[in-house]
Amino acid sequence: MKDAIFKGAGVAIVTPFTETGINFQELGRMIEDQIANGTDAIIITGTTGESAAMTDEEHRAAIKFAVEQVKGRVPVVAGTGSNETAYAVQLTEYAEKVGADAALVVTPYYNKCTQNGLIRHYTMIADHVGIPLILYDVPSRTGVSIKTGTYAKLSKHPRIAAVKEANGDLSAILRLRKACGDNLDVYSGNDDQIVPILSLGGKGVISVLSNVAPRQTHDICQLYFDGKVQEAAKLQIDYADLIDALFCEVNPIPVKAAMRLLGYNAGPLRMPLTDPEPDHLEQIRAALKNHGLLK
């Protein structure tokens, strides 16, 4: 059994951009608000953080800033994935150097490697660092799925510790849990599947919802861990409308709009992402109001 990187709700935090770079002052404010409201881990430079649209300098600076801002109060997980293995190794080495607690590594996108390629890719990264890796399976974005047998092989590596599973297939997650047991922790990558994945032995969620409702997302997990399964399920169900609103367009378009509505200077999206359509913006606004997050 490997030590859990975190247990509960980790926020896949947005990156507040200016027209020329990152608004570090506002990122610091967001991180502080997350910690104050019970978030169990900060996941920096993930998909929600628009890492794919960052320069290498920005990517590294955001990771370093998050580590320095958090000061060890909760784990910091750095998104260091790439479709090019050598670059993923370099980013992960950098994340370890500046003090990140773990790395979140998405499957290589566009190249669409084989399962053997995935094994070699992840093994090479894990062999080069001393921090644990969280694999990230999100086939809707990458075109690649990690198969059960691949999980079973990768889970034997001492530094491949967990997976953020966003394939939406609970049956596949069941088989992954059967194949890997305690050698590979599972985090939900979908906010509408937190409780179902916890029921299969999951350790928590890497969450978009946590950006706007950190306490509630934490509480969904904590209630479950405390044995209050019905209460956890009720809270999950209650927030279905907000979760739907946050995914009414491709992430992170809706959540950055929501953060701006809540008074954060979340800044612009990086092209080619664009602001939500007016009807979707109203959906986001209505959902925030429905839960008392916006007056």
Residue 97 among the catalytic residues: no
Given 64, 164, 203, 256, which residue is catalytic?
A: 164
Looking at this protein, which amino acid is placed at residue 186? V
DSSP one-letter code for 268 = P
Rounded to whole angstroms, what are the CA distances from 129 to 104, 149, 258?
13, 24, 36
Residues 6 or more apart whose CB falls under 8 angstroms from that of 234 comprise none
3-state secondary structure of 21: coil
Q: What's the CA gap between 276 and 254, in Å, rounded? A: 6
Backbone angles phi, psi at 33, to 5 degrees: -65, -35
Given 64, 94, 122, 136, which residue is catalytic?
A: 136
Residue 151 among the catalytic residues: no
Nearest one of 139, 238, 228 to 191, comparing CA atoms: 238
**Catalytic positions:** 136, 164
